[in-house]
Amino acid sequence: MVVSAVLVRNRLAHIIKKWTIATVQVVYYIPDHLHIVNQFMWQTEDQLPEYPRIKKFLDYWDKNIDGPIKEVYIHDHEDHKVRHVDRRYKIN
């Protein structure tokens, strides 16, 4: 009983603080070949709208990793709506 109350309280804290699962896509230049880009994808739980965990990770990247960042995309499930698909098309 106590364990379930703690779980409910923790879940409520996540909702109030607006926690979400976010996917981060970092497009970066390969250090030895700056004309070639590569991508790194990472999924984490973070707070909306500031994304403090993602910012900390990107700050670490800037200070400690040789590959300079070109672009960063952050995707979360909050902005999307579920819809049903009634047809699928196959392209040859």
Give me the DSSP letters along 31-88: TTEEEEEEEEEEEEEEETTT-HHHHHHHHHHHHH-SS-EEEEEEEEGGG---------
Per-domain residue ranges of the chain: 19-92
Q: Which pTM value belongs to this model?
A: 0.66
Q: What is the pLDDT of residue 30?
A: 95
pLDDT per residue as tens digits for the range 51-60? 899 999 999 9
Highest mean pLDDT among 40-44, 72-76, 85-89: 40-44
